[in-house]
Amino acid sequence: MLTLIRQANQQAQTIILIWDNHKAHLTPKVEQTAKDLQIVLVNLPLLA
């Protein structure tokens, strides 16, 4: 998905992506891919 987001926004230097804290979103591979694609990941805060 991160690659598709980058491809759809090639003109942007940096993309800020806000999403939930699903386990799949918090893996080192996802974080590294986002960094490589110049996508900043912002996770929503956990609600108590």
Q: Where are the domains of the chain?
A: 2-43
User: Around 37, how many Cα atoms within 13 Å sit in the side-chain half-sphere?
Assistant: 22
Decide if pLDDT at 47 tops 80: no
pLDDT at site 2? 95
Could you give the 3-state DSSP secondary structure of residue 23? helix
Q: How far apart are CA 4 and CA 27, in angstroms?
A: 18
Length of the chain: 48
pTM of the model: 0.82
Compute the average pLDDT of residues 2-29. Answer: 92
Neighbours of 20 (CB within 10 A): 8
Q: Which among 27, 31, 29 is positioned nearest to 17, based on CA atoms? A: 31
Query: Who wins on pLDDT, 46 or 8?
Result: 8
pLDDT at site 3? 97
